[in-house]
Amino acid sequence: MERVKAASLLHTGLDRYEVFDFQGDRLGELNTFLKTKRRPFSFHVPFFRPSYFPHTGVSTFFLNDAKKMRELSFRIMNSTLYFAKGWEADFTVTHLVWKDDSKNRRKVMNFVSDTKARFSEISDSYNIPINVEFGGYSGYFHEPVQFVEFVSDNPMLGICLDIGHTFLISKTRNRNFFKDIESLAPQTKSIHVWNTKGLDHCKKHNHVPVHPSQKTGDGWIDIKKTLEIILDCNKECDIVFEYNHTYFDKIPQKVQEGMDWVRSIAER
């Protein structure tokens, strides 16, 4: 298959960063930046795109029918935690579900059980926590309670609550967004923050930076209410702005205004 170009995204957070899908030839630049800033950071699987993984960075095959594809995802997971240990990242984030999941419910549940056990083993082995990003546009693993149960038995596992994706999945599944947030919040350890008006809007604009000017009456997610629900359960959640660009220290003024607004919500 044709190799997809690595995204090479460094996401800025509140006093932290998150690294996602870097090209190998940019790791030196990245390492220098992180050492200079001396802020906590996390790795989003894949940390970088190795030669044996030509797929898009968001691709995961943990619930795929083909064993070789499942093992490929575990290989990239193990690689990311290996580097997380060496670079001293404080946790990792991974997708669990994606568009290539099995269409057989029984198989999916068996794959989930195996994946849960192996995530715990890998996390304990490297002593690096794993935050499982909530997802589920298709397939049989998409209920908040399923993700809560997946992480609840091991304190090294937690949920990464991506606000934008959770909103879109709730719409796709005809569920109440805020009820989904309330269900996920007690096990949420990190948050991906971005905004959208819906699937069509997301396909056109991808992850839109949040800003206090975005009104729910215009279709935007109520970011303030969403964050307050999550942070009421765990005020220590790590917050990362998952946008389409790597800014390093050159953050546009309007984007910075949105980041400052989120900080004010978190501090309250």
Q: Can you give the residue ranges of every domain in the chain?
A: 9-267
Residue 121's Cβ-count burial label (10 Å; 0-12, 13-18, 19+) is exposed
What whole-number distance in Å separates Cα of residue 103 and Cα of residue 123?
28
pTM more than 0.75: yes
Domain 9-267 in CATH 3.40.50.2300: no
Q: Sorting pLDDT into bands at 50, 70 and 90, what band is 231?
A: very high
Q: What percent of the chain has pLDDT over 70?
A: 100
Distances (CA, A) of 265 to 66, 125, 224, 240, 253: 44, 36, 7, 14, 19
Is it the case that residue 40 has pLDDT exceeding 90? yes
**CA distances (Å), 133 to each of 39, 188, 261, in order?**
22, 9, 24
Pairing of strands 17-22, 9-12: antiparallel
**Residue 94: helix, strand or coil by DSSP?**
strand
What is the per-residue pLDDT for 239? 98
Mean pLDDT of the chain: 96
Tell whether the model's pLDDT for residue 209 goes beyond 90.
yes
| Backbone phi, psi, residue 87, to 5° | -90, -10
The string of pLDDT tens digits covering residues 167-186 is 999 999 999 999 999 999 99
